[in-house]
Structure 1
Amino acid sequence: MAIVLLRVDERLIHGQVVVGWCGPLHVDRVVVVDDDIAASPWEQELYILGVPPEMEARFASVDEARTQVAEWRDGPRRVIALVRDIPTALRLAEGGVLDGVEVNLGGIHHKEGRVRVLPYLHLDDRDRDALRRLAATGATVSARDLPSTRPVPLDELLELAG
């Protein structure tokens, strides 16, 4: 499988993703799946600044990405897909599109109503429900900030979240 990771991270492309994940996973394509950024060339240019020249960056709406997942799976490139939030990951996964794909929860920050589950992960009731539905599509859901740390599986995350 050429999709080496789908990461939920509010910051999308940033140092921890590029250095901490893309390097160790030997990624050569980063795809940001976000409806707003896919429609905004100037935002795309800003994100591209954080991508090394040897790595390709692409931007797709959720609907576009859903049609491209099979290509990413079967293609020769090693792809990391980034989404900003859990609802976007769930929309992408509908109908089993992400069956067997590792979904990493990596950077969901505090805001009103969210509970701290891990230092880098804060969830509310809607997030927890969406994560259950995401797992039911066949995706493997866990959290970890870097590839060198232990993945925290979804059932453990839900228990920590209360």
Structure 2
Amino acid sequence: MDIRLLRIDDRLIHGQVATTWARATGISRIIVVSDQVASNPLQKLLLKQAAPPEIKAHVISVKKLIEIKDHPLMKDVKVLLLFTNPTDVMTIYKQGVAFDTVNIGGMKFTEGKQMVTHFVSVDQQDIEAFQYLDEQGIELEIRKVPSDRKQMVMDVLKKGNFL
């Protein structure tokens, strides 16, 4: 699997992903990785329909991604992996899915979370997952679209006294 972009964005497939990021990365497949979404047939159907017609879209569980990561049929497939949270990203890393950068596009504010930017909110579990990934040498950058200036998530967390 040729991971062209690994993105955390709880909106999943939407305009920015379906157009700007897909074009910028040259992908042929979007894979949404979420246990919750994978178990919801209606949400799966809607997400698949949101992808551009020339790009295949799939919704799978975290376990399924780990199972298929080295499958011969995935060998040269250029993919964009979409996640809703950093904990799932940490899980796949620990299970041998190789990547060196995570793009954070949006993590909405919900009860128990604190805003660190106007479109990224975190709780303690998110912070711990980001810390783990940072310790592994993974670049953790915040950008909505490719033309935005990168903000490093660890710098944002330090500046906001979240660490």
Gapped regions of structure 1 (runs ≥ 5): none
- Counterparts of residues 1-162 of structure 1 (less than 5 Å): 2-71=2-71, 75-98=75-98, 100-162=99-161
**TM-score, structure 2 normalization:** 0.86
Q: CA deviation at 1:33?
A: 0.5
Counterparts in 2 of 1:95 and 1:49: CA distance versus 1, 3 Å: closer
Deviation at 1:154, TM superposition (A): 3.3
The answer to whether the Cα contact below 8 Å between 2:87 and 2:125 also exists between their aligned partners in 1 is no
SS in 1 for 2:7: strand
Q: 1:35–1:125: structure 2 CA closer, same or farther, 3 Å change rule? A: closer
Distance 1:155 1:43 in 2: 32
Of stretches 29-38 and 130-139 in structure 1, the one that deviates more from structure 2 is 130-139
If the length of structure 1 is used for normalisation, what is the TM-score?
Answer: 0.86
Task: Tell me if the contact between 2:90 and 2:129 (Cα under 8 Å) persists in the aligned partners.
Answer: yes
Note the residue ranges of structure 2 that are not aligned, 5 or more in a row: none
8 Å CA contact 1:7–1:103 kept in 2: the answer is: yes
Identity %: 30
